[in-house]
Structure 1
Amino acid sequence: MTPQSDEDEVWRQIVASFNETAEDASAEQPWPDRENVSDEATEEGDGEPGGDASEPASEQAGTASEDDDHYVPPPPPPLPRGDAITRASWVALFGGPAYLLLAALLTWPMEGWIVFTAVAAFIAGFVTLVVRMGDGPPPDSGWDDGAVI
């Protein structure tokens, strides 16, 4: 037999057994045996794993109030205020293009120095924010700088 004929025979067997059901005994049970709940656990509680014996039976049975069903995160900390240079950079970054857009929509006269100032404010704000961003670890991070690749 040639390798090609062996391969053809294997494909014929696969196609012939395509619609057959599995004869595996574990097909009835979709989880491993080690996760089965013992008979003692079903007699003591409701049979669900993870039930805490210190909780009342009413909470274990799922009769807790609906207020306990969802997570309410704590309020977030306030945003940092930022220094004057950072705030001025953000104003310049958004203010320059906003002024040009507003002037174009309202057909205000735009002289050359006004356009130059708006574009320069945008570029200066962007450059200032990038330069002040920093690429090192925070000063309070300690001696260990983590994983270095």
Structure 2
Amino acid sequence: MTPQSDEDEVWRQIVASFNETAERDSADQPWPDSENVPAEPVRRVVKPSEGLEGFEELEDTAERDPDGERDGAEDEGHFEPPPPPPLPKLDLATKLAWVALFGGPAYLLVAAMASWHMEGWALFTAVAAFIGGFVALVVRMGDDRPNDSGWDDGAVL
């Protein structure tokens, strides 16, 4: 037999056995306990958290011991991120650039939706405010390294 005819025979066997049932039925395979779904739905209790006013925290009551304490194994992989740093304070020029960047197109959108008659100078001012705000923000962005980068700056291109 040639290698081509052996390959053809293997393909014929695969095609012939396509619709046959598997030797081992899926009912015989064990079902892992981790895949079992609890019979009753998980109840959740909403309680305010200590550090965040106005936010609510969800807590599972089904995962508690009868004494009311959580299992130590449950908290092993739990990660609570630290609170985010405060937003930086913006100077007047940056605030004006953001207002111009969004204010120009917002004025044009409102004027178009309200069918206002726009004078040429108003249209020019709105477009110039958008472009000027964008340019001001890009120029003020800077390309210097942060002060806390440390001794290893990584790859410098």
Letter in 2 for 1:2: T
Q: Distance in 1 between matches of 2:126 and 2:4?
A: 74
Q: CA RMSD in A?
A: 3.6
Q: Which residue of 1 aligns with 2:119?
A: 111
Of 132-141 and 115-124, more deviation after overlay is shown by: 132-141
Between the two structures, name the one with larger relative contact order (CA 8 Å, sep ≥ 6). Answer: 1
Letter in 2 for 1:128: A
| Greater Rg over alpha carbons, structure | 1
Gaps in structure 2 of 5+ consecutive residues: 33-62
Gaps in structure 1 of 5+ consecutive residues: 31-60
From the two aligned structures, give the one with the greater strand fraction.
2
Letter in 2 for 1:14: I
Q: Distance in 2 between matches of 1:88 and 1:77?
A: 24
Q: Distance in 1 between matches of 2:156 and 2:3?
A: 51
Q: Which residue of 2 aligns with 1:6?
A: 6
Deviation at 1:82, TM superposition (A): 1.6
Q: Which residue of 2 aligns with 1:57?
A: none
> For 1:76-132, what per-residue CA distance to the aligned partner results, in whole angstroms no more than 9, with x for missing partners?
433222222211111000011111222233344422111111100100111111222
Contact 2:64 2:70 in 1 (8 A): no
Identify if the C-alpha distance between structure 1 residues 16 and 136 changes in structure 2 by more than 3 Å, giving closer, same or farther.
farther
User: Are positions 1:77 and 2:85 aligned together?
Assistant: yes
Q: TM-score, normalised by structure 1?
A: 0.57
Q: Which residue of 1 aligns with 2:23?
A: 21
Q: Distance in 2 between matches of 1:143 and 1:73?
A: 27
Letter in 1 for 2:86: P
Identity across matched positions, percent: 69
Out of 135, 143, 146, the residue aligned to residue 151 of structure 2 is: 143
Q: Distance in 2 between matches of 1:79 and 1:121?
A: 25
Q: Which residue of 1 aligns with 2:43?
A: none
Letter in 2 for 1:63: D
From the two aligned structures, give the one with the greater helix fraction.
1
Deviation at 1:66, TM superposition (A): 8.4
Q: TM-score, normalised by structure 2?
A: 0.55
Q: Which residue of 1 aligns with 2:65?
A: 63
Identify if the C-alpha distance between structure 1 residues 109 and 14 changes in structure 2 by more than 3 Å, giving closer, same or farther.
closer
Letter in 2 for 1:6: D
Map 1:114-129 → 2, pairs under 5 A:
114-129=122-137
Alignment: residue pair count: 115
